[in-house]
Structure 1
């Protein structure tokens, strides 16, 4: 394949590097343009669902990721006052996937594996310190316009440059949705909450009408996610955090913290995932709340499925119309599945009316007690269902 058919990828996060690797493995020349001086070191997303692990296995990086991660074979719902409500066993998916579990591993442990694999393939280039500020298109190709005034030419461009995507803004794609009324506070603990909660699963969703919580075990820390009122001082919220987490530690002052930060959370989907010769993937195309760990996973699914469709077009195995269809399938998945599921998770955790809470607890317990119902629920929460019959691998 000629250099004239080179694909540019904006962003060297897990989504951009996955898209680049998918293309390069098909013989497509690829140049990745990354704004940072090196790969991002923040941990950010930390859950990998079964179909994502299947895709990463096909790309040759799953073994390295498994060696760095922690297998979570179950997750649970808890009540802040009464303890465990229901535990769901992911081994019920053993007939559906070779990876019947969630892998807990920070995304910054995946990107070096992807970069290493990409660097072994011919026709690939990764340029750091190359922030894409905009895109110019013609009928025959695209130019990535860099923040320093430079220009890079390609036949196509994949925008994987995050929630504040310059690529998305440049092509004029709308980004409709909502912003959640509270901020989310994420903290990493320097101690194990199982010292006071011995029945705690590796992933726990804590139901509470006033202050829900999510607890996630990662290889290096336990991570805690809490809602935080809007309009309050960040410094004050961080100062009162140890008191809010006192129930997770035997220490009088609350658990030791390795890190904590506050951020706003949005639920938005781009008006189109394809604009001419530009494709949008991951957070550049859709953002959602982190409850359920679907953001990075769905972005990787975008990269594999849309990247594969673009490679099919470039190798003459598919039509331009089929590429558009795949982009629309991924947009529909973001709207009808990922966004809907993560928003439902938020509503479930914060349910306030006693009757609604009682019904929810009864439903969760009944689901966990029935293997058929539990498997059906797990197919959805593990994202397997989102790929079936929607241009996925099943």
Structure 2
């Protein structure tokens, strides 16, 4: 599937995976009048508490989809987040309100991802142009005349579903990606991460706590996150600690009491433990098949950009597919998607989330003090502060690379770089300076 094949523009687009990225892709296709078949291995949408942050440019896109107002009504608007240190306490507070002149959503929205899935699945079930196939496990993908075909196994046996294109949004263990033999290079962190959620309001126990907090500590870093349902603590699990011990109620109570001592036990709402990776697919597209979200790139949750960048992937490729159906050059559109979105995954998502994680667990005392001094200096300088939150919110990457934007000609001698995006003048980094590749820049932390 190395080349685009001629497609039947009356055929549906196939979307594999009914997580937040897949249902967003399906809903955006329906909004543009494109028929869609949504294929999901589970019999019902999953209830997953893992991701819960929606950044400003993501809310802009979901606003165009007509779902942002409902999300805001159910979620928690959080304009500020804090960097803290276990010993030093509050280090710096960052304010997304500095983006009010650039976006209608100068904040992050805390809303567990399953709520977006619920909202959009309800919409898709009511749409005549959407067909939902749940309880269908993908067995294979192949080219056919007029597009692609996916073989699935349901309770009734095996069947083949045809479409013009296929969007693989089936997660980190993507069957679509593996079936196509696409590489997924990177690394896995030695420690696992644990999320434990409680109904206790941590603000009553920790004075001055924000709704989102990153706490550096050389022994056990953590971040604390507030949603309408609960407070969530995320921390690393020692490499040698068995899974059943880490999830044992007594262990969870010990961990929570270390965060904020309490006379009574903490009520536990939810708990999850999972491996964390930094991986990017070798390509985001083969022929008329594309992969998006965790199927294309997975990263540390420290920064809260994985879900957001996945939604950006979905919106980008859907709008390109709409243009292809209207007569645009299919090869140019799909190549631009694969190239630009992979560049963002490498230069922003991977680079920033890895540095965010390393900063929180820094063990060298001098480097820890230097990190703290730098964070304080950034918040004290309005320009640097604004540039920092522009990058942390992914507003910089969206404004720079756009969504469904073809490469633009450069005004300088030569030709566009490998992404098709001009690089002659550089762009502001997280400290407010310019120049240098994005992967060489200091990375801000957002919210998970």
Q: Name the TM tier (shorter chain).
A: over 0.9
In structure 2, what is the equivalent of residue 130 of structure 1? Answer: 136
How far apart are 1:23 and its partner, in Å? 1.7
Bigger CA drift: 198-207 or 248-257? 248-257
- SS at structure 2 position matched to 1:84: strand
> 1:176 aligned to 2:182?
no
C-alpha contact 1:159 1:280 (8 A) present in aligned 2: yes
In structure 2, what is the equivalent of residue 192 of structure 1? Answer: 201
Task: Give, in whole Å, the separation in 1 of the partners of 2:216 and 2:243.
Answer: 24
Task: Give, in whole Å, the separation in 2 of the partners of 1:137 and 1:172.
Answer: 14
In structure 2, what is the equivalent of residue 232 of structure 1? Answer: 241
How far apart are 1:318 and its partner, in Å? 4.1
Counterpart among 357, 372, 378 of residue 383 in structure 2: 372
Counterpart among 151, 154, 174 of residue 160 in structure 2: 151
In structure 2, what is the equivalent of residue 357 of structure 1? Answer: 368
> 1:57 aligned to 2:63?
yes
Task: Give, in whole Å, the separation in 1 of the partners of 2:104 and 2:390.
Answer: 13
Q: Output the TM-score relative to the length of structure 1.
A: 0.96
> 1:286 aligned to 2:292?
no
C-alpha contact 2:165 2:289 (8 A) present in aligned 1: yes
Task: Give, in whole Å, the separation in 2 of the partners of 1:223 and 1:26.
Answer: 37
How far apart are 1:267 and its partner, in Å? 0.8
- SS at structure 1 position matched to 2:366: helix
1:5-20 matches, within 5 Å, as 5-20=11-26
Unmatched runs of 5 consecutive residues or more in structure 1: none
Unmatched runs of 5 consecutive residues or more in structure 2: 1-6, 406-448
Task: Give, in whole Å, the separation in 1 of the partners of 2:119 and 2:272.
Answer: 27
1:1-394 matches, within 5 Å, as 4-138=10-144, 140-148=146-154, 149-238=158-247, 239-252=250-263, 255-392=266-403
Task: Give, in whole Å, the separation in 1 of the partners of 2:64 and 2:300.
Answer: 28
In structure 1, what is the equivalent of residue 411 of structure 2? Answer: none
Task: Give, in whole Å, the separation in 2 of the partners of 1:321 and 1:291.
Answer: 34
C-alpha contact 1:246 1:253 (8 A) present in aligned 2: no
Q: Output the TM-score relative to the length of structure 2.
A: 0.85
Bigger CA drift: 318-327 or 53-62? 318-327
- SS at structure 1 position matched to 2:190: coil
C-alpha contact 1:329 1:391 (8 A) present in aligned 2: no
- SS at structure 2 position matched to 1:39: coil
Task: Give, in whole Å, the separation in 2 of the partners of 1:283 and 1:319.
Answer: 24
C-alpha contact 2:110 2:226 (8 A) present in aligned 1: yes
Bigger CA drift: 143-152 or 238-247? 238-247
- SS at structure 2 position matched to 1:357: helix
Report Cα offsets for 1:234-279 as digits up to 9, x if no partner.
2222332322221444424653322222211111111111111101
- SS at structure 1 position matched to 2:171: coil
Task: Give, in whole Å, the separation in 2 of the partners of 1:262 and 1:271.
Answer: 27
Bigger CA drift: 243-252 or 334-343? 243-252
C-alpha contact 2:12 2:37 (8 A) present in aligned 1: yes
Task: Give, in whole Å, the separation in 1 of the partners of 2:400 and 2:135.
Answer: 40
Task: Give, in whole Å, the separation in 2 of the partners of 1:26 and 1:236.
Answer: 49
Number of residue equivalences: 394
- SS at structure 2 position matched to 1:359: helix
